[in-house]
């Protein structure tokens, strides 16, 4: 089964707490951290809060009790058990159970790429944000997630590109399209997500009424070298995720 966040919730939480998820520890969360504002006294929504670990990151920036929503019942149960000062609820990011203009800050890590209709999510976030509110989130970068896996010299290799001089050309990956991909991880978990170019998200955010104030293509941080130098080499040169900061004017 794909996207079975209930089945893998406990394992994901254990790995996140131990820092075993390298994309979170060395790529995505450091990029988010660099852009987080002062969150003291802000009303905060976590979109796709999983098992709740990201609440600790936001607390470092002064955040008090916050609300998280996630589609996975088991993730929400674990989040409430582990971080009782916050409130985690089962809900779908396409239809948020909140009044208009409720939040100052909406945070979302690695969740919006599970939507085949991100414009609906952006419009919902726009609705629940107060005027002047900020939306900070990450999605998958096509360079990493829309490249094609092929064998080169019997080594599984990710390739984004095309042959020159061939008619028709052999194409590897799809940078510009908006397409669905399945990826099976070493844990056995298969995730199905939608990947499009950063410019597509930029356009959809504007269509939803946002002003994009920051945009970052992630790079693995230097500390990665101490744990996995080859992971560092790959993901300091090739972006895995995109961070957007967008404002409701």
Ligand X SMILES: C[S@@+](CC[C@H](N)C(=O)[O-])C[C@H]1O[C@@H](n2cnc3c(N)ncnc32)[C@H](O)[C@@H]1O
Positions in the binding site for ligand X (CB under 6 A): 5, 16, 48-50, 53-54, 69-72, 75, 92-94, 109-111, 114
By beta-carbon proximity to ligand X, the closer residue of 183 and 233 is 183
Q: How far apart are CA 228 and CA 83, in angstroms?
A: 30
By beta-carbon proximity to ligand X, the closer residue of 109 and 240 is 109
By beta-carbon proximity to ligand X, the closer residue of 16 and 246 is 16
- Residues in a beta bridge with 247: 134, 211
Smallest separation, CB 36 to ligand X (Å): 14
Smallest separation, CB 90 to ligand X (Å): 9
Smallest separation, CB 174 to ligand X (Å): 22
* CB-based contacts of 104, cutoff 8 Å, min separation 6: 42, 43, 44, 129, 130, 132, 133, 134
By beta-carbon proximity to ligand X, the closer residue of 93 and 143 is 93
By beta-carbon proximity to ligand X, the closer residue of 71 and 159 is 71
Q: How far apart are CA 147 and CA 129, in angstroms?
A: 34
By beta-carbon proximity to ligand X, the closer residue of 71 and 200 is 71
Full DSSP string of 68-84? EEES-HHHHHHHHHH-T
Q: For residues 29 and 50, is the Cβ–Cβ distance under 8 A? A: no
Smallest separation, CB 235 to ligand X (Å): 16
Q: Which residue is nearest to ligand X (CB)?
A: 50
Smallest separation, CB 21 to ligand X (Å): 8
Q: How far apart are CA 42 and CA 198, in angstroms?
A: 28
Q: How far apart are CA 88 and CA 100, in angstroms?
A: 19
Smallest separation, CB 99 to ligand X (Å): 18
Smallest separation, CB 104 to ligand X (Å): 19
Q: How far apart are CA 119 and CA 207, in angstroms?
A: 8
Q: For residues 108 and 47, is the Cβ–Cβ distance under 8 A? A: yes
Cα distances from 178 to residues 161, 188, 194, in angstroms, run: 17, 25, 7
By beta-carbon proximity to ligand X, the closer residue of 93 and 106 is 93
Long-range contacts of 175-178 (CB under 8 A, 24+ apart): 175/142, 175/143, 175/146, 176/142, 177/146
**Tokens describing residue 95:** 């239809």
């Amino acid at each position: 089964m794909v996207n079975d966040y209930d089945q893998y919730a406990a394992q994901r939480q254990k790995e996140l707490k131990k820092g075993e998820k390298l994309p979170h520890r060395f790529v995505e969360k450091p990029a988010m951290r660099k852009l987080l504002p002062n969150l003291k006294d802000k009303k905060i929504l976590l979109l796709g809060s999983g098992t709740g670990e990201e609440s600790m990151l936001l607390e470092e920036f002064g955040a008090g009790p916050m609300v998280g929503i996630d589609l996975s019942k088991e993730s929400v149960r674990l989040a409430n058990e582990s971080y009782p000062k916050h409130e985690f609820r089962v809900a779908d990011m396409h239809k948020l159970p909140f009044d208009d203009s409720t939040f100052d800050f909406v945070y979302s890590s690695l969740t919006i790429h599970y939507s085949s209709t991100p414009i609906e999510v952006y419009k919902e976030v726009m609705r629940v944000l107060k005027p002047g509110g900020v939306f900070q989130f990450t999605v998958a970068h096509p360079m990493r997630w829309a490249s094609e896996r092929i064998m080169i010299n019997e080594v599984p290799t990710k390739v984004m590109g095309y042959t020159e001089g061939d008619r028709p050309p052999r194409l590897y990956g799809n940078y510009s399209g908006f397409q669905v991909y399945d990826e099976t991880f070493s844990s056995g978990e298969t995730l199905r997500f939608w990947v499009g170019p950063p410019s597509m998200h930029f356009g959809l955010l504007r269509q939803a009424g946002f002003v994009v104030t920051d945009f970052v293509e992630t790079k693995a941080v230097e500390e990665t070298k101490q744990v996995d130098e080859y992971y560092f080499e790959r993901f300091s040169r090739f972006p895995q995720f995109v961070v957007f900061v967008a404002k409701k004017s």
